[in-house]
Amino acid sequence: MPAAVKKFIEAFSNLPSIGPRQATRLAYHLVALPRAEMIEIAKSLVELAKTKRCKKCFFLHDNLGEQCYFCEDASRDKDIIMIIERETDLMTIEKTGEYRGVYFIIGEMKKSGVLDPDKKIRLNILKEKITQELGGVAREIILAIAPTAYGDFNANLLRMELEPLTRKITRLGRGIPTGGEIEFADEVTLICAMKNRG
Amino acid sequence: MPAAVKKFIEAFSNLPSIGPRQATRLAYHLVALPRAEMIEIAKSLVELAKTKRCKKCFFLHDNLGEQCYFCEDASRDKDIIMIIERETDLMTIEKTGEYRGVYFIIGEMKKSGVLDPDKKIRLNILKEKITQELGGVAREIILAIAPTAYGDFNANLLRMELEPLTRKITRLGRGIPTGGEIEFADEVTLICAMKNRG
């Protein structure tokens, strides 16, 4: 196999959800593309590397300043903060068009969760932001943390840490997802769904 | 969404077996990598773009000359030619260590198959090669074309085109794959397996 193909496969096999098999197919597909098209794809990666993180909420942006689109937008409620794990979660929430507050990306809640040094740093930045910009009390903090075992555990830690800094702290409601079958719902979901009925 | 992220997602969504969802996750994963690592990945793409195609068999190579590893290798039987659809097929065959002939990549046998202008050009190059290098007659041509409906149709077209230029023309044997259950084999496979018994 040509060295360049090998190197590409190695580089891409390490990315999440791309195995060596898909990376190999990808390599041979890319090689068959017109050269200009491939250079475009490589460029899109280089451009991606230039993306910045918002100093306030850690979302990505390519604005001239240091803030992202949401933190810059004067029409959004700065005292309602939704804490999310991933950028993709933010995009899904934003698509609903129903949320007018700002976001704060804490990172994925895996094993170590909030105890992770990176997340501790971010949490301190959030606390400082609430102190400096909101006089120490947010109107609401919404914990949009996945309702998994790790998520629940870490959401509780976050609640303890942030309760003194907000009037209200909530989590996203649990229940049967639209299109979901009641027959196949687990017990915990059903209990939540009954509580949240309306 | 930052423009760079959007552009990346667009570029990668168009690649085979990567949808917009995977491309999005990939974008956010890549952005979180150390910058040097991302530049490495981009470089691997640029290097990939520099890979050449063998003038004789269309496999990829990064040799100084114009021939690939297999066509350059004096120990391989140049008068036995295996016609394959994809580079990945070649690699799978090569892994067996049982084949000592050379290859010829014809391209994927989709709808248009051999009638496709690209494939017609390649076929003519193969014919010319047999005429010039083998005095007009190969020892054997093996059609390693997938035994699908399109594959069978195109293999027959290839057989008609190439029969005058070879002493023998064969296809890979059909039968029950190792580990396959006889119970679930389709009729055509079973008939082939019975014929190829031994």
The CA distance from A120 to A158, in Å, is 10
Spell out the alpha helix ranges (H) of B35-148.
35-49, 69-72, 87-96, 117-133
- Domain co-membership, B11 together with B87: no
**Segment A29-55, tens digit of pLDDT:** 898 888 888 888 888 888 888 889 999
Flag whether B126 is in a domain: yes
The CA distance from A42 to B7, in Å, is 11
pLDDT greater than 90 at residue A14: no
* Nearest CA-CA partner of A88 in A13, A171, A144, A19: A144
Measured between beta carbons, the chain A residues lying within 8 angstroms of B8 are: 44-45, 47-48
What is the CATH number for B102? 3.40.1360.10
- Domain co-membership, A75 together with A40: no
Task: Provide the domain limits for residue A146.
Answer: 53-171
| Closest residue on chain A to B47 (Cα) | A4
Three-class SS of residue A38? helix
The CA distance from B188 to B94, in Å, is 27
Alpha carbon of A80: minimum distance to chain B alpha carbons (Å): 21
* Nearest CA-CA partner of A158 in A198, A113, A196: A113
Alpha carbon of A109: minimum distance to chain B alpha carbons (Å): 15
Furthest-apart CA atoms within chain A: distance in Å? 63
- Domain co-membership, A37 together with A128: no
- Domain co-membership, A33 together with A60: no
Three-class SS of residue B104? strand
In angstroms and rounded to an integer, the radius of gyration of the C-alpha atoms of chain B is 21
Spell out the alpha helix ranges (H) of A33-169.
35-49, 69-72, 87-95, 117-133, 149-162
- Domain co-membership, A34 together with A96: no
| Closest residue on chain B to A25 (Cα) | B88
- Which band of pLDDT confidence, cut at 50, 70 and 90, is reported for residue B84? very high
- Quick check: B38 and A48 CB within 8 A? yes
Flag whether A90 is in a domain: yes
Q: Give this prediction's pTM.
A: 0.68
Residue A105 contacts B, CB cutoff 8 Å: no
**Segment B107-150, tens digit of pLDDT:** 988 777 888 888 999 999 999 999 999 999 999 999 999 888 88
Asked if the interface predicted TM-score (ipTM) of this complex is over 0.85, the answer is no
Contacts of A148 (CB under 8 A, 6+ apart): A109
